[in-house]
Amino acid sequence: MRFEEFAAARLPAVLRFAGVLTGDRGLAEDVVQEVLIRAHKRWPQISELERPELYVRKMVVNEYLSWRRRSWRLIPGGSAQDVDDRLTPDHALVHAERDALLAELGKLPRRQRAVLVLRYYEGLPDTVIAEILGCAPGTIRGYASRALAVLRVEMTPHPAREESTK
Amino acid sequence: MRTEDDLHTALQSLERHAPRLEAVLPGAARTRAQRRHPTVRQRPWVRTGGPILVAIAVVAAVVTPLAVGKILRGDTSQLTGPGGAAAANPTAAQVLNAAAQVAAAQPAQVPGKYWRVSIASTTLIPAGPNAHPYALRKTLSPWTTWYPVHPGNPNHWYIAYSDAGYTTTPATPGAAAQWRADGSPALPSAKLPVVRFEAFSDLRFGPNRMTPAQFESLPSDPARLKADIEHMVKNYSDSGVKYPHSLEVFGVITDLLDHEPITPQVRAAAFRILAGLPGIEMMGKVTDPVGRAGYMIGLEGGARKTFGEGRMLGGSITLVISPATGTLLAEESVATSQSSYVKSPPASGAIPGATSCGQVIFSGGPVVNRGGADSRPYTHDGRTYCVPRGATVKVLPSGDGMSDFVGWAMPHQGGVASENPLGPVVAVQPGTVTGAYVILGAGWTNATPAPGA
């Protein structure tokens, strides 16, 4: 797959993923732009991979987790209120609980947050998350259970996930 | 108590933070016609103009299998031990200090119109019959990149040329033996027209994107440069490696050395900082992928970077440094044995090659899932692809001399997805160089950007 084909087919999904991962449009823009630059330069290698998109997501996660953002994005303002938030004032009650959850999510350490996004937004099995984050599936389960405990989310039995992490 | 569904819904609502395409790809604002055809090429860096039939002058034609992890005795005339005598088995610090000494004595070039860099890269690809696959090292044609000295804006696009071709050679002596046993089939290679790319500048010092001219102001005093880098990386402790602080400093310096427009004196300072890093270690005397002699230096505990990972394993990033020229020759990723997949293979054992869809393979590193469990085989041009059930297959002629692009579209979903054809998967030994980023040349020029110039 050529880079242009990849970008045309997959970039919108990667953008959405970055938005969910970071919860901050400015940061998501920086992360994706940075990743695209590097992915483009090394596209001949990346396109050889089994799943270039997974690799690009991995780059997005690594970029998000990397220290660079810490110093780079500690610029006040900009991220607290987006235009879109102001355009959707309805469903206030549902949103109040959801926003409370999101606020707590925003306080999680980045790795824990990344695990939750990959698991509950991307729907990836823990083995793949482990590959993306470069650690063992057991570590992923540890991150997830700690994060879920903090967020007071009850885990439902999930045979497929248990199976895939053996 | 909340449920996992609540979490899923809440996360979905965060999609509103997704960047707009235009924000990450300036110039990508779609026209109405393009909106109707989502796969129309509209990226700012798609090739422009007609094919230019000029080859890049610097070609990495000869690829030398690398000896890794061993110290081979050889020319150490550039290296001096504490007493001034040449060291036979130099330490990482000795090599780095020797490189610093050579670099410090080099005259600083007067900046020209462009900082020009030529980079080649290598990666591993599997080859051979499924029962006995082996790894080939694929060396890509060089990229020559031109960065204007005063772009006016750090995000100014650079211009790059490459013919996007490649050569291959067996990756290790063992792979060479298997290749001969396989009847020495023709090694894959491609020579393609040179294309011109344009993209954002990627020159940076740590988190800061800078113009070539701005790099002139970096301190050449190691203590001051180190203080600047320390300031950048302070409070970082999230990498999970043995020397997280060293890893961050190592990363900044690697970025600085691999193609940034720094003076030889700043380069010397960078080498001296590396020499003093806790955990820095000598990995042996090696030749880089284009045959230049140097010493491989890494960080104990693994300096992982997002580079070279994927089917053929990730690995530690190492630097090949030449004390003779006082330069970084290459960055190489070396397969490690630290992957949990290597340590505890599943009960089913390693499967050497994938021959059907939906197979899960442990290739000594990442789990490779060929096609997914709900996919079916689709054969085109003698190659078999795994296509999800229910998808419509789309074959697009590649138009560039490479194999056709076989993709598919799912009903009710935009875009086209694809996977590579089925083929062998190779486990590589720890210590194997899985990828390299080779700096063939870097310097100032007043020439006008052109292929081969």
CA distances from A78 to A82, B148, B326 (A): 8, 31, 44
Of chain A residues 63-92, which have a CB less than 8 A from chain B? 63, 65, 67-72, 82, 84-85
Residue B114, Cβ neighbours under 10 Å: how many? 23
> Is A45 touching B (CB cutoff 8 A)?
yes
The confidence score (pLDDT) of residue B268 equals 98
Closest residue to B207, CB basis, from A33, A53, A68: A68
**Does the distance separating the beta carbons of B164 and A102 come in below 8 Å?**
no
**Does the distance separating the beta carbons of B340 and A130 come in below 8 Å?**
yes
Return the axis-axis angle of helices A92-107 and A137-151, rounded to nearest 10°.
Answer: 130
This prediction has a pTM of: 0.57
**Does the distance separating the beta carbons of A154 and B3 come in below 8 Å?**
yes
Q: Residue ranges of the alpha helices (H) in B43-188?
A: 92-104, 173-181
Closest residue to A15, CB basis, from B6, B21, B232: B21
B190, burial (CB in 10 Å: exposed 0-12, middle 13-18, buried 19+): middle
In tens digits, chain B (453 residues) has pLDDT values of 788 888 887 887 777 777 766 555 543 433 222 222 222 222 222 222 222 212 212 222 222 222 222 222 233 344 544 444 456 789 999 999 999 999 999 998 889 999 998 888 777 776 776 666 777 887 877 878 888 888 766 555 667 676 657 788 888 888 899 899 989 998 877 776 666 655 556 677 876 778 888 898 999 999 999 999 988 776 544 444 567 678 778 878 988 898 899 999 999 999 999 999 998 999 999 999 889 999 999 887 654 433 333 322 345 778 999 999 999 999 887 776 433 222 222 222 333 444 567 665 544 444 455 566 677 888 877 677 778 888 888 776 543 334 455 667 766 654 455 555 666 556 667 777 777 888 999 999 999 888 776
Mean pLDDT of A136-145: 85
How far apart are the CA of B1 and the nearest CA of chain A, in angstroms? Answer: 6
Of chain B residues 410-449, which have a CB less than 8 A from chain A? 414-420, 435
- pLDDT tens per residue across span A48-91: 777 788 888 888 887 777 644 333 322 222 222 222 222 233 33
- The CA distance from B188 to A128, in Å, is 31
- The CA distance from A64 to A19, in Å, is 11
Residue B118, Cβ neighbours under 10 Å: how many? 22
The confidence score (pLDDT) of residue B87 equals 60
**Does the distance separating the beta carbons of A154 and B1 come in below 8 Å?**
yes
> Is A28 touching B (CB cutoff 8 A)?
yes
Picking from A87, A129, A131 by the largest number of B CB atoms within 10 A of its own CB, the best residue to mutate is A131
The confidence score (pLDDT) of residue A70 equals 36
The neighbouring-strand residues paired with B327 are: B322
Closest residue to A102, CB basis, from B1, B10, B38: B10
Residue B135, φ and ψ in degrees, nearest 5: -100, 135
How far apart are the CA of A29 and the nearest CA of chain B, in angstroms? Answer: 5
| CA-closest candidate to residue B215, choices B181, B263, B253, B173 | B263
- The CA distance from B333 to B309, in Å, is 8
Residues of B in contact with A120 (CB under 8 A): 4, 7-8, 11
Residues of A in contact with B8 (CB under 8 A): 120-121
The confidence score (pLDDT) of residue B295 equals 97
| CA-closest candidate to residue B227, choices B179, B276, B155 | B276
**Does the distance separating the beta carbons of A55 and B310 come in below 8 Å?**
yes
Mean pLDDT of A35-46: 76
CA distances from B359 to B95, B367, B374 (A): 46, 10, 10
Residue B77, Cβ neighbours under 10 Å: how many? 10
Residues of A in contact with B202 (CB under 8 A): 37-38, 41
pLDDT above 90 for A39? no
**Does the distance separating the beta carbons of A154 and B415 come in below 8 Å?**
no
| CA-closest candidate to residue B331, choices B440, B436, B260 | B436
| Contact yes or no for A73/A28 (Cβ under 8 A) | no
- Output DSSP code: residue B52: B
The confidence score (pLDDT) of residue B323 equals 96
| Contact yes or no for B173/B65 (Cβ under 8 A) | yes
> Is B304 touching A (CB cutoff 8 A)?
yes
> Is B332 touching A (CB cutoff 8 A)?
no
Residue B20, Cβ neighbours under 10 Å: how many? 12
- The C-alpha torsion from B318 through B319 and B320 to B323, rounded to 10°, is -140
Residues of A in contact with B15 (CB under 8 A): 16, 19-20
Q: How confident is the model at residue A3 (pLDDT cuts 50, 70, 90)?
A: confident
Q: What percentage of chain A exceeds 70 in pLDDT?
A: 71
| Contact yes or no for B124/B137 (Cβ under 8 A) | yes
**Does the distance separating the beta carbons of A41 and B310 come in below 8 Å?**
no
The confidence score (pLDDT) of residue B218 equals 94
> Is B344 touching A (CB cutoff 8 A)?
no
Residues contacting B316, CB < 8 A, separation 6+: B298, B299, B302, B303, B304, B333, B334, B336
The confidence score (pLDDT) of residue A131 equals 78
> Is A150 touching B (CB cutoff 8 A)?
no
Q: What ipTM was predicted for this assembly? A: 0.72
Closest residue to B233, CB basis, from A8, A67, A98: A67
